Amino acid sequence: MTADGGGELALIRLIRDAAYRQHPDLRTGIGDDCAVLAVEPGELLLATTDLLVEDVHFRRRYADPADIGWKSLAVNLSDVASMGGRPRWALVALACPESTDREEIRAFYIAALGLADEHGVAIVGGDTSLSRSGWTVNVSLLGTATRPILRSTASVGDVVVVTGSLGRSRAGLALLEGQEPLPRVEASARAEAIAAHLRPRPRVKEGQWLGATARVTSMIDLSDGLATDLGHVVRESGVGARVHLDRIPVADSTGTIAAALGEDARIWATSGGEDYELLLTCPPAAVPGLADGLRRATGTTLTPVGEIVSGSPGVQFVDARGEPVEVTPGFEHFVTGRSRD
C-alpha cells in the first residue's frame, strides 16, 4: 500500500506515531485490541458514525487526501455538536487503493488530527484495508453529555432557528463540478464556497453553548439540507413546521455564485445539504437571549426562519406573502433520481 514497500504493519506504525497525543482520559490507545477510555461519573456516552465513499461523497479529482481526512472527522463532530455534547474519542477506518502512497496517507491523518486537536479529540484506533474501488472512510466518534438534546422534543409554538448561513457548500460543489471558471465570481467568494464544501467547520462550541442553556428544545445538524433535516425533527416530534423562505440566511458568496450559474440560491440553502450548521427549536421568548449570547460566546449568528405548528408531521415552505412554495428535499441515499452531485 505504501510507496516505500511497507505493508499494513508499517502503515499502522505511521498512524500510531502521527496520532499519539497525551489525553488524561485515554488509558490505552492505538496498539492494543481495544482502546481503554475513562468516562467521568454522571456523563452519558454519545456515539455516532459516518461513512464517506469516493464518487458518492467526494471526488478525488478535486478532494485531496487532506480534504478527505478533515471532512471525515468534521461530519461526525457535527453530529455530537447537534446533541450539545463534547466530542472525545474517534476511531478511523480507511480503505484505499494499492497505488496510494505513504505521503497521501500521512496527509489524510495529519488533516484529521489537526481538526481533532482543535476540539480536544483523541484518535484512539480504527482499521486499514486495501480497496479495489477507490477510497472509503468510516469514522466513529464518541462524545459525552449530561443532557443530550434530541430531535424528538420540539413543541408546538417553538421557533425554528439556524446558525450561520446556508447554501455555501452547495455553491462550492457547483464550482468544483464546473468545467470553466466563472468570470463574475470573485476569488474570495470562490475560496469561501469551496472551503465550505471541502473543509466544513462543525459548530461544536456553538452546540455546547446552546446545550448548556436549557432553553433549546430540540436540535439537529444540517447535513442533508434544511428541508430534509427539519423533516426529521417534525417526524420524530410528531409536529409540523412552517419555514419562511425570505428569512433563510444566505451568504453573499452563495448568492453571487448562484446568480452567475443561473441557479436559485434559496433552493441551494434549503436542499443543497452539507452545510453542517445547526438547526434548533426554542420558545419565542428565548430567541433574543440565545442569539445575543451565542454571538458573544462564539461570534456565530442565529436566525429565526420559521415555527413549529400543530398538525401532521411535515414541513411547509412559504414565500414573503405567506403563499406555499414547493421545495424539493435534499440528498437521500437509495432514492432513485437523487444524488449528492
Phi, psi values for residue 280, rounded to 5°: -140, 160
d(CA 160, CA 142): 28
Angle at 71 between CA 69 and CA 74, to 5 degrees: 115
pLDDT band (50, 70, 90) for residue 142 = very high
pTM for this model (two decimals):
0.90
Q: How many CA atoms lie within 13 A of 139 on its CB side?
A: 28
Domain-by-domain residue ranges, the chain? 8-145, 159-325
Query: Structurally, what CATH architecture does the domain formed by 159-325 represent?
Result: Alpha-Beta Complex (3.90)
Query: Structurally, what CATH architecture does the domain formed by 8-145 represent?
Result: 2-Layer Sandwich (3.30)
Q: Give pLDDT tens digits for 161-214.
A: 999 999 999 999 999 998 667 778 899 999 999 999 999 999 999 999 999 999
Question: Helix, strand or coil for residue 165?
Answer: coil
Between 12-16, 181-185, 234-238, 274-278, the lowest mean confidence (pLDDT) is in 12-16
Output the average pLDDT for the chain: 90
Domains 8-145 and 159-325 share a fold: no
